Amino acid sequence: MEQVIEPPMDTGTATRASLGFLLAKASQRWNELLHAKFSERGYGEVRPAYGSILLPLFEEDGLRIGELGRRARLAKQTMTTMIRLMEREGLVIPEPDPDDGRAIRVHLTARARRFRPVAEQVLAELDGLVSQALGAERSLELAHDLEEVSTL
Residue 12 lies in a domain: no
pLDDT value of position 12: 66
Residue 120 lies in a domain: yes
Of residues 30 and 151, which shows the higher confidence score?
A: 30
Residues 46-74: pLDDT tens digits? 999 999 999 999 999 999 999 999 999 99
Per the structure, the complete domain to which residue 132 belongs is given by: 45-149
Q: How far apart are CA 131 and CA 58, in angstroms?
A: 25
Residue 104 lies in a domain: yes
pLDDT band at 1 (very low <50, low <70, confident <90, very high): low
pLDDT value of position 3: 72
Residue 89 lies in a domain: yes
Q: How far apart are CA 78 and CA 5, in angstroms?
A: 35
Give exposure, 32-58, as e/b (b: 16+ Cβ within 10 Å): eebbebbeeeebebbbeebbbbbebbb
Q: How far apart are CA 95 and CA 64, in angstroms?
A: 9
Residue 18 lies in a domain: no
Instruction: Report angle CA 2, 22, 44 to the nearest 5 degrees.
Output: 105
Number of structural domains the chain divides into: 1
Mean pLDDT of the chain: 92
Residue 16 lies in a domain: no
Identify the CATH number of the domain in which residue 71 sits: 1.10.10.10
Residue 127 near residue 142 (C-beta atoms within 8 A): no
Residue 39 lies in a domain: no
Residue 6 lies in a domain: no
pTM of the model: 0.82
